[in-house]
Structure 1
Amino acid sequence: MIVKNATDLIGNTPMLEIDPSIHGLKNINLYAKLELLNPFGSVKDKTAWNMLKHDLAEIKASGQTVIEASSGNTAKAMQMICAMHEIPFRIVTNRVRVREVKEILQLLGTEIDELPGQSQCLDPTDPNDPLFVVEKIMSQEPGKYFHTSQYTNKRNLEAHIEMTGREIAADLDVVHYFVGGLGTTGSTRGTGEFLKSAGSPYLKSIGIVCTKGGLIPGIRNSDEMHEVGLFEKEFYDEIIEVSVDEAIDSMLTLVKSCGVLSGPTGGSSMAGALKYLRSIDATLTEKKNAVFLVCDRAEWYLSYMQKYRPQLFGLKKKASALAEIDEAQCESAPSLDTDRAQQWLESDNNVLVLDLRGSLAFKGSHIEGALNIPQETFEELCENSIPIAEGRKILFVCPVGDQSRKFSAYFSRLGFDCASLQGGFVAWRDQGKPTKKGRRRAKCKVAL
């Protein structure tokens, strides 16, 4: 087969029927839709192409730069397409958390605006939002940018109505269960909508998210779905939470047993599919069909795998006492409501307020005298040492009070006099407790 353009290779991805000896289902045929075989390596090739192809000529003629808030795969595909048409491309993101993803974007020449590290804890007060920053950039230079807006763009959905859904329907007369990870939600919604209209009216659409506080690249965790403009909870018959370990286990099954070089997102979809289907399978008396998406490739995620499964690379796994804190320990961790916390701060000058929110949220407003170390950064510090002086009292503050409990449990176990702020900074602010805005960074003048 000879094609004139790489974009001609987008779509028409095959499906692999998974051997029952691998998945263990007796009455359900399980198929993997191999979106990793798109030319730029992921299901987002379809999204990127459909959002750009209608406007490329006009964008180039007007000298615009394409701008997008992307965590990786969409950015990769859009950069490739823009480069082929000699169009500048810029991304704004706070979610490039896998080294290879950032490196491939740099290799491709992407202009990256990487915002300060964001806490994994849900933060309704944080202005450190890529979409907000994109709008600000565009308002400063009107007409310079073309914003594809993958989180709200209906062409994201349409890409999977016209391609992914149509392709699956061409291969299977009827689909009873469709499973995919929830990022922008374009692929799962678009595919599901088409399948329901094309011979599968009783389709069950199952969305997959990562468990709270976890990181599976390409999908959101259970706290983050509010950020997604296209997300409609009622569209999904069920939303299944999958842990990092479950995603990696199924990813390795796809790689080693099925010969599919899937990334962790594909692993999460397979894990979630089996979690949902196993109980149903036992009740069936006739064969059903289930399809899950394998979104992208393993090669982008080697550093991620080294972090979570170092033994696969001959490395020793770091012992992390913080990671061993379970929900029961969090529930019993020392905590204070806002009134008692305020009394503690006013009566004892030795209390350190450690604010775990993102840096821009802290800059916007915080408890006076607080030290800001975003949660992800503080976790890394705790893995290597105890970053707080012995004898110091600590009030841990996160946005809504759930993640700070883990640190309170951990440091109290180490002998610190500490507590988590119940309800987090949101409760402190909403109850009218005193706050302070962050200082502007002074400009430095250098004499030569």
Structure 2
Amino acid sequence: MRYDSITEAIGNTPLVRLDPAVHGLRHIDLYAKLELLNPFGSVKDRAAWNMARPHLATAVEAGSQVVELSSGNTAKALAVIAGLHGLSFKSVTNRMRIPEIKDLLLLLGAEIEELPGQSECLDPTATDDPLTLFHRTLAESGDAYLHTDQYFNARNTEAHVTGTGPEIVKDLDGNAPDWFIACVGTAGSSTGVARVLREHDPRVRVVGLVAAKSDFIPGIRTLDEVHEVGLFDPGTYDTIAAIRADEAIDGMLVLNRRCGIMAGPTGGAAYTGAVRHLRAYDDEATGENGRRTAVFIVCDRVESYLSYVRQRRPELLGRPRRTHSLAELSDTEVRAAPAIAVPDARAWIEREQPLVVDLRSPYAYAALHIDGSVNIVDELFEELVHGGLPFSRSRPVLLACPVGEQSARYAALLARMGHPDVRSLAGGIIAWRDAGAPLVRE
């Protein structure tokens, strides 16, 4: 197979049937669409090329810089595409959470600009959020930038309407699967593929997978975050289910060790979510020859996420499992975590002067924070907690994060560890801001 350009190798990825002895489904054939085999390593290769391609000639003539609000696979693909055309690329984000991807982007010659942001996902309605303001500036910049705009660009979805979806139907001998299971990030792949499959057979059931509240799985939004994505339409999905980080890693290990598929955590989440959802239908699944079919997407490769695995499951890499871990918490404990609403928190701060710990990124903290608070980014805070209680039991503690989810988990953990008075700010810094409570800039 010969190509004149590496971009011609994007798409036409394999569809692989997984061994039923591995997943345990007796009447459903489960297929993995191996988007990790795209030339730049992920499903985002399709969207990046489809979004950039129409504008590249003009961008080259004008000497534009390719820009995207991305800290992951879209940025990686665009960095390569920009380099192929002699253009520079800038990744704009409010948080680079995977060190290997940051290093790879730098290796590819990308410029990385980290701006303050009040949440992990671009919120177009947050008019005072620097990330949102930058997004609006890009839209008005003329020829200075080629802004691919993955969160709102319809060509993100179209890449899968013309490519991924039809490929699945073709590889299933002209049939749509009975189920399509997809992790939801920008929602481009799930929306595009679902559209094609339902046009072929309206009975196709679509399952959207999101990260559990306060959890982080690379490439997947939480349910709160995904509603801020311009391409997301809840009507696309028959079911939306949440996956925990540990479940994603467990699924990744099955794909790596039992199926020979070098999937990253997103693919692991898709596998876990697929098997969990389909088990409820396995006994009643009857189709041609008594079997039905389901497809999920393996988005990218495991090699970029070793630090992610090391932080959450160190024993997998030959290191002792950490004590005092968020992974130990049950949902019941998190729901019961001590929380305090904004009006009561303001009175409590005035009356008892608790230590206020802001768990957001340094950039978000610098933009706006509660006066007198200290900034300990959540990854560093987690490291501190592994060594035992990081604060004196004699002083009350108020924990704050963007929307009150991660702070609730840490409040539950510190309470379990014996701190007598630790509380989570309900609704987080966003609720504090929306209540008109004072915030200061660094």
Please report the TM-score for the alignment, with normalisation by the length of structure 2: 0.89
User: Map of 1:296-307 to 2, 5 A cutoff?
Assistant: 296-307=300-311
The one-letter code of the counterpart of 2:171 is: D
Matched with 1:232 is: 233
Matched with 2:355 is: 352
Query: Which range is displaced more, 331-340 or 65-74?
Result: 331-340
Matched with 2:346 is: 342
The one-letter code of the counterpart of 1:293 is: I
The one-letter code of the counterpart of 2:253 is: L
Matched with 2:242 is: 241
SS at match of 1:112: strand
SS at match of 1:71: coil
Query: Which range is displaced more, 153-162 or 119-128?
Result: 119-128
Matched with 1:443 is: none
Decide whether aligned partners of structure 1 residues 180 and 129 sit closer, same or farther in structure 2, where only a CA change above 3 A counts.
farther
Matched with 1:85 is: 85
Matched with 1:446 is: none
1:414 aligns with 2:418: yes
- Provide, for residues 67-118 of structure 1, a one-character-per-residue CA deviation record: whole Å limited to 9, x for no partner: 1011211111111111111111111013431121111111110111123587
SS at match of 1:276: helix
Which of the pair has more CA radius of gyration? 1
Matched with 1:444 is: none
SS at match of 2:215: coil
**Separation (CA, whole Å) in 2 of partners of 1:432 and 1:7:** 50
Matched with 2:153 is: 153
Decide whether aligned partners of structure 1 residues 170 and 423 sit closer, same or farther in structure 2, where only a CA change above 3 A counts.
closer
Matched with 1:274 is: 275
- Contact persistence 2:64–2:87 (CA under 8 A): yes
Matched with 2:111 is: 111
Deviation at 1:130, TM superposition (A): 3.8
**Separation (CA, whole Å) in 2 of partners of 1:23 and 1:323:** 24
The one-letter code of the counterpart of 2:187 is: T
Deviation at 1:268, TM superposition (A): 0.9
Query: Which range is displaced more, 145-154 or 362-371?
Result: 362-371
Query: Which range is displaced more, 231-240 or 170-179?
Result: 170-179
Deviation at 1:359, TM superposition (A): 4.8
Q: 2:297 aligns with which of 293, 300, 306?
A: 293
Matched with 2:167 is: 167
Query: Which range is displaced more, 272-281 or 207-216?
Result: 207-216
1:378 aligns with 2:381: yes
Decide whether aligned partners of structure 1 residues 158 and 314 sit closer, same or farther in structure 2, where only a CA change above 3 A counts.
same
- Contact persistence 1:121–1:403 (CA under 8 A): no
1:208 aligns with 2:209: yes
**Separation (CA, whole Å) in 2 of partners of 1:432 and 1:111:** 36
- Contact persistence 2:116–2:364 (CA under 8 A): no
Deviation at 1:22, TM superposition (A): 1.4
**Separation (CA, whole Å) in 2 of partners of 1:59 and 1:11:** 24
- Contact persistence 1:68–1:134 (CA under 8 A): no
**Separation (CA, whole Å) in 2 of partners of 1:316 and 1:235:** 42
Query: Which range is displaced more, 399-408 or 219-228?
Result: 399-408
Decide whether aligned partners of structure 1 residues 95 and 178 sit closer, same or farther in structure 2, where only a CA change above 3 A counts.
farther
The one-letter code of the counterpart of 2:421 is: D
- CA root-mean-square deviation: 2.7
1:190 aligns with 2:215: no
Matched with 1:392 is: 395
Which ranges of structure 1 fall in alignment gaps of 5 or more residues?
440-448
Decide whether aligned partners of structure 1 residues 341 and 137 sit closer, same or farther in structure 2, where only a CA change above 3 A counts.
same
- Provide, for residues 17-37 of structure 1, a one-character-per-residue CA deviation record: whole Å limited to 9, x for no partner: 111111111221111111111
Matched with 1:255 is: 256
The one-letter code of the counterpart of 1:177 is: W
- Provide, for residues 215-254 of structure 1, a one-character-per-residue CA deviation record: whole Å limited to 9, x for no partner: 2111112331122110001111111211112211221111
**Separation (CA, whole Å) in 2 of partners of 1:397 and 1:313:** 32
User: Map of 1:41-190 to 2, 5 A cutoff?
Assistant: 41-115=41-115, 128=129, 130-136=131-137, 142-172=142-172, 173-174=174-175, 175-190=177-192
- Contact persistence 1:125–1:399 (CA under 8 A): no
**Separation (CA, whole Å) in 1 of partners of 2:103 and 2:401:** 31
Deviation at 1:322, TM superposition (A): 4.8
**Separation (CA, whole Å) in 1 of partners of 2:127 and 2:394:** 31
Matched with 1:31 is: 31
SS at match of 1:30: strand
1:438 aligns with 2:441: yes
Decide whether aligned partners of structure 1 residues 429 and 228 sit closer, same or farther in structure 2, where only a CA change above 3 A counts.
closer
The one-letter code of the counterpart of 1:196 is: R
- Contact persistence 2:209–2:242 (CA under 8 A): yes
- Contact persistence 2:88–2:109 (CA under 8 A): no
**Separation (CA, whole Å) in 2 of partners of 1:327 and 1:417:** 20
Decide whether aligned partners of structure 1 residues 409 and 187 sit closer, same or farther in structure 2, where only a CA change above 3 A counts.
closer
Please report the TM-score for the alignment, with normalisation by the length of structure 1: 0.88
Decide whether aligned partners of structure 1 residues 332 and 155 sit closer, same or farther in structure 2, where only a CA change above 3 A counts.
closer
The one-letter code of the counterpart of 1:155 is: R
1:319 aligns with 2:323: yes
Deviation at 1:265, TM superposition (A): 1.1
The one-letter code of the counterpart of 1:261 is: M
- Provide, for residues 320-345 of structure 1, a one-character-per-residue CA deviation record: whole Å limited to 9, x for no partner: 25543433334444444444433333
**Separation (CA, whole Å) in 1 of partners of 2:130 and 2:436:** 25
- Contact persistence 1:395–1:419 (CA under 8 A): yes
Matched with 2:285 is: 284
- Contact persistence 1:186–1:230 (CA under 8 A): yes
- Contact persistence 1:122–1:399 (CA under 8 A): no
The one-letter code of the counterpart of 1:193 is: R
Deviation at 1:394, TM superposition (A): 2.2
Decide whether aligned partners of structure 1 residues 102 and 171 sit closer, same or farther in structure 2, where only a CA change above 3 A counts.
same
SS at match of 1:227: coil
Query: Which range is displaced more, 250-259 or 399-408?
Result: 399-408
